A = this chain, B = another copy of it.
């Protein structure tokens, strides 16, 4: 008799079947209850099996939907959706990766970082390297960020409104506690990496459909104390919320006594829309919690983000988080402060902007040249990815696997949907933050050969 616990035996059956290709990417697995019934085992056993499959990167749990099989390349190369999780070896078969999250490996300023580290270690106030710091982050860095937001986004905010954090989920872990209501309105489709943060904090998620002008205001409910939105370049559709709707959204927040969480994650890349103002800068009601990040322009490995609180919420923030410590090491804060103060940040923003603008144009041209009428492209006004909708009957998983067979990695829009049934089955994400400019044309050419 097999000594392994039953949930492990079931796990191994799944892995075998998945590797045999019995499941499609994003295919939904039977519910825990159903499978337990079918196999005549307890629900706990099935839950353990699914948890193991999740932790091993085979499937993912989409809240209020179910468990789905991860991208087909997971099964082939054994690495999950986040390319960072794949070793070079596993990725070696990938010739062109159109990732939308990571940056190109060459982009880290090694020698400059070395120089600024030395400079930071010579700081007069080096004793701070051995002491607890300000829970909001070092005032000097908050000053630099405030100046940058003013320059780049026309935002007026006091450094005292800025809180420096180690990433968006940890920003939200604080922000969710500032609202008394326990419902959050989220864009549908929307940025899925943060859904669980709300759910883990006891929030109910109200999905709000995204139209070409951003979220549909009529679908908002007053019991939503928070609205999470990406108005300047909606993730993933790329929809841009026009001024009039921004004003209406702020109006709604004031009337509902709610707060807007504005994730301005890629505002540095508003190619054709330099003039789009963030909600925060046109908000006369003090209703916007603004999220910014160093991940898109510098590196996600820095783990450096920040949020800007409305003055209204400062007292509550200090009351609830009085004893909390800062999230980011003093030394890294000092290095980034020097980086910004000496003008390197502005220069980098400009460089990455023009690099990405060229890569964006290259993608549009290459897609036009090689795919013509067979696809339609949207969301290209800004950001580091475009959405390609492929004509015909082929579905995402097939399109992704066809591409992979040629060594081209493209991405699914499925995880962004809470309600998978509403997800368009033929739209694909092409990111260009990590890909080399010279690789765009050959990559798209190969993709076209894979698809048509």
Q: Is the interface of A mostly helix, strand, loop or mixed?
A: helix
Residues of B within 8 A of A202 (CB): 202
Q: Are A316 and B85 in contact (CB under 8 A)?
A: no
Chain B, residue nearest A173 (CB): B173
Given contact pairs A110-B126, A114-B117, A304 touches B319 in the complex (Cβ within 8 A): no
A235 to chain B, nearest CB (A): 14
Q: Are B304 and A329 in contact (CB under 8 A)?
A: yes
Residues of B within 8 A of A371 (CB): none
Q: Are A84 and B128 in contact (CB under 8 A)?
A: yes
Residues of B within 8 A of A170 (CB): 166, 170, 173, 327
Chain B, residue nearest A202 (CB): B202
Residues of B within 8 A of A133 (CB): 84, 301
Q: Are A319 and B51 in contact (CB under 8 A)?
A: yes
Residues of B within 8 A of A304 (CB): 329
Given contact pairs A194-B323, A303-B326, A303-B328, A104 touches B130 in the complex (Cβ within 8 A): yes
Q: A177 at interface (Cβ–Cβ under 8 A)? A: yes
Given contact pairs A193-B323, A325-B167, A315 touches B128 in the complex (Cβ within 8 A): no
Q: A151 at interface (Cβ–Cβ under 8 A)? A: no
Q: Copies of this chain, how many?
A: 2
Given contact pairs A132-B82, A303-B325, A320-B196, A127 touches B105 in the complex (Cβ within 8 A): yes
A344 to chain B, nearest CB (A): 16
Chain B, residue nearest A82 (CB): B132
Contact residues, A303-331 vs B (CB, 8 A): 303-304, 314-316, 318-331
Chain B, residue nearest A298 (CB): B130
Contact residues, A43-61 vs B (CB, 8 A): 47-48, 50-52, 54-55, 60-61
Residues of B within 8 A of A128 (CB): 84, 301
A162 to chain B, nearest CB (A): 14
Q: Cα distance A118–B168 when bound, in Å?
A: 29
Q: Cα distance A188–B278 when bound, in Å?
A: 47
A142 to chain B, nearest CB (A): 15
Chain B, residue nearest A328 (CB): B303
Chain B, residue nearest A127 (CB): B105
Q: Are B55 and A301 in contact (CB under 8 A)?
A: no
Q: A129 at interface (Cβ–Cβ under 8 A)? A: yes
Q: A246 at interface (Cβ–Cβ under 8 A)? A: no
Partner of A132, one of B101, B121, B332: B101
Q: Are B196 and A321 in contact (CB under 8 A)?
A: yes
Chain B, residue nearest A326 (CB): B303
Q: Are A314 and B55 in contact (CB under 8 A)?
A: yes
Q: Are A330 and B301 in contact (CB under 8 A)?
A: yes
Residues of B within 8 A of A48 (CB): 315
Q: Cα distance A43–B152 when bound, in Å?
A: 40
The 0/1 profile, CB within 8 Å of B marked 1, for residues 83-99 of chain A is 11100100000000000
Q: Cα distance A195–B321 when bound, in Å?
A: 10
Q: A369 at interface (Cβ–Cβ under 8 A)? A: no
Q: Cα distance A192–B322 when bound, in Å?
A: 11
Q: Are B110 and A169 in contact (CB under 8 A)?
A: no
A-B contact pairs, 22 of them (CB 8 A): A51-B315, A83-B131, A84-B134, A102-B131, A104-B130, A107-B130, A117-B117, A128-B301, A131-B301, A132-B300, A166-B328, A170-B173, A173-B173, A193-B323, A193-B324, A196-B323, A202-B202, A300-B325, A301-B331, A303-B325, A327-B327, A329-B329
**Given A48-B315, A167-B327, 4 extra CB contacts under 8 A:** A51-B316, A108-B130, A130-B299, A131-B301
